[in-house]
Amino acid sequence: MFSRLKNYKIFLILLTTIFLNAPAFAQLEQETKEQNHERLYQVELIVFGRSESNPQETWPADIKLTYPENIALIPESGSSDNLTSVPTNERLLNAQAATLARSGSYTLLYHQAWRQIIYGSKTNLAIAGGKIFNGHHELEGSISLSVAQYLKIQTNLWLTKFAPVGDDVTELWPELPNLPSAFANDVDKSQANPIQRIVKLSQERTMRSNEVHYIDHPLMGVIIKIIPVETLTEKTN
């Protein structure tokens, strides 16, 4: 009798373990599918600025600001460079973007969603957002996307704080690189605001699809979600 009761308890423990680990098995299966799998994804990206917690904090000025070669532009609508814009009402992170926009502590600098094939080699995408000073956006730079065993994002973003015209700024900051041509046509270069500060967000992050990922910096942040388009199609059918 005791032996039978003991075996039943062991069975319950094993059964509970299986159910508790079922999501892990499902995740492992999904990750195996992603391994070396180039396919069509929907990408959604939010970049925001945050209020300074310590205005006296200093930031390194010896930073390099460059755009990678073979850079593509994400279209505002329609398709371009094998990228297809996703309509605003079909974005998946609209609630998060609205919360940031309403907040007094954060500034929504960029929010866009698009579809693209993500390859094993990097695809470089230009990013620009925020207010415009001296022919430059507050937020500029690029991201790079690729996939092998996992999805990967590499950020190459810089956030510039411009001082009012006429302010005396003593610290020397690097010259902002020329914008990709499609952005440069839309900016006003008549202002002369000195650069007060530049901070750079340069990180590489391994990601799982279907999850929201967050990349942090004291003065800015990135929220990104990447979903296989076939998964979206299955949910709508």
Flag whether pLDDT at 130 surpasses 50.
Answer: yes
Cα angle value 124/212/21 (rounded, 5°): 125
Flag whether pLDDT at 16 surpasses 50.
Answer: no
What strands, in cross-sheet order, belong to the sheet with 212-217?
A: 79-80, 83-85, 106-118, 39-50, 220-228, 212-217
Highest mean pLDDT among 13-17, 25-29, 44-48: 44-48
The pTM for the full model equals: 0.81
Instruction: Extract the tokens encoding 222.
Output: 């990135």
Flag whether pLDDT at 11 surpasses 60.
Answer: no
Q: How far is CA 87 from CA 11, 111, 114, 144, 234, in A?
A: 51, 12, 9, 22, 19
**Cα separation, 65 vs 156, whole angstroms:** 8
Per-residue pLDDT reduced to its tens digit, 50-94: 988 777 788 999 999 999 989 999 998 999 889 999 999 999 999
Per-residue pLDDT reduced to its tens digit, 165-219: 888 887 899 999 988 876 655 555 566 899 999 999 999 999 999 999 999 999 9
Which residue ranges make up each domain of the chain? 1-34, 38-236
